[in-house]
Structure 1
């Protein structure tokens, strides 16, 4: 597996751990619908949260969250719509980004709530 794929996989696992500590229940990982993928689907009370995880090892090209493009956000929303319909969800939803910056001294996690609005 390429190093960037391994970094991304580890970032998703770390994001799931972080969210569990904050009281979220992880319902799905890497949920796919057509050409779209949602990294994490979580629930906290009556709130369903679709989470895009971005992990980077440096900021030379920008912060991790800056790599969520308009196109990516639209694909996530399309997959979320399918998830909501197939799971018959009738409560609130939110789209978040968990940005993880990994460095030699550790990592920084930033949870950006309601990131697509």
Structure 2
């Protein structure tokens, strides 16, 4: 497995652990719809949180959240539209980013709620 894929998997597990610790219920991991993949779909207090996880080994080239582009956002929107209809859910939907700088002795996690409001 390529190093970046392994880093991504580590980051997703860190994000899941972080969310569970913060009382989110994990509904889906790596949910796929057409060309979209949603890293995590979670529920807390009646809000469906759609979470994109970005993990980097450093912030030398920019913050992890800076790598979520408009194309990715469009794919996530279509996937969640389908998911909510498919599951017949009546919930508020929020798009979050969990940005992780993963270094073996110093891991930083930043949870950006409603992250797409800034794009």
Q: Normalising TM by the smaller chain, what interval?
A: over 0.9
| Unaligned residue ranges in structure 1 (runs of 5+) | none
Aligned to 2:31: 31
Structure 1 residue 105 displacement after superposition? 2.7
Rounded Cα–Cα distance in structure 2 between residues aligned with 1:85 and 1:49:
15
Rounded Cα–Cα distance in structure 2 between residues aligned with 1:30 and 1:104:
24
| Unaligned residue ranges in structure 2 (runs of 5+) | none
Rounded Cα–Cα distance in structure 1 between residues aligned with 2:84 and 2:32:
13
Matches within 5 A, 1:79-90: 79-90=79-90
Structure 1 residue 103 displacement after superposition? 2.2
Structure 1 residue 91 displacement after superposition? 1.7
Matches within 5 A, 1:1-117: 1-117=1-117
Q: May I ask how many residue pairs the two structures share in their alignment?
A: 117
Q: Does the residue aligned with 1:88 lie in a helix, a strand or coil?
A: coil
Higher strand share: 1
TM-score (ref. length: structure 1): 0.97
